[in-house]
């Protein structure tokens, strides 16, 4: 059986808190549309870490079948249905 781990983000940890204000970091891991989503969100940090969790989970899942796959997060696009919900459905679109 294959397993996929998940991460827990401590919202109050200084390294994670207000990370949504770090434009250099956002440009490194998010598409322009995702950056707008973060900025327009009622809770930008929650939006940022939700997008990151989607990308990371998709990568961890796909790499089990495609071992040579490289992970360049800003090239992976997340489309969520709804904004600022505790749980949302969506998809991660990867290059190729």
Predicted confidence (pLDDT) per residue in 30-51, tens digit: 999 999 999 999 889 988 988 9
Per the model's pLDDT, the better-predicted residue between 86 and 14 turns out to be 14
pLDDT tens, 52-69?
888 988 888 888 888 777
Q: What CA–CA distance (Å, rounded) separates 30 from 16? A: 16
**Cα 33 to Cα 59: distance, rounded to the nearest angstrom:** 20
pTM score of the predicted model: 0.82
Length of the chain: 96
The rounded mean pLDDT for the chain is 83
Among 69, 70, 28, 36, CA closest to 52: 28
Query: Do residues 45 and 19 touch, judged by C-beta distance below 8 A?
Result: yes
Sign for the CA dihedral angle at 45, 38, 31, 59 comes to positive
Closest CA to 6 of 55, 68, 69, 39: 55
Mean pLDDT of 11-16: 78
Distance between CA atoms of 27 and 35, rounded to whole angstroms?
8
Average pLDDT of span 17-39? 94
Tell me which DSSP letter residue 73 carries: G
The band of 95, judged by pLDDT with boundaries at 50, 70 and 90, is confident
């Amino acid at each position: 059986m294959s397993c996929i781990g998940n991460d827990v983000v401590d919202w109050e940890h200084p390294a994670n808190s207000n990370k949504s204000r770090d434009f250099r970091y956002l440009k490194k891991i998010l598409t322009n549309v995702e950056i707008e989503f973060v900025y327009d969100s009622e809770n930008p940090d929650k939006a940022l870490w939700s997008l990151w969790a989607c990308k990371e989970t998709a990568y961890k899942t796909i790499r089990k079948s495609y071992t040579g796959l490289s992970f360049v997060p800003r090239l992976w696009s997340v489309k969520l249905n709804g904004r600022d919900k505790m749980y949302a459905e969506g998809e991660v679109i990867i290059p190729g």
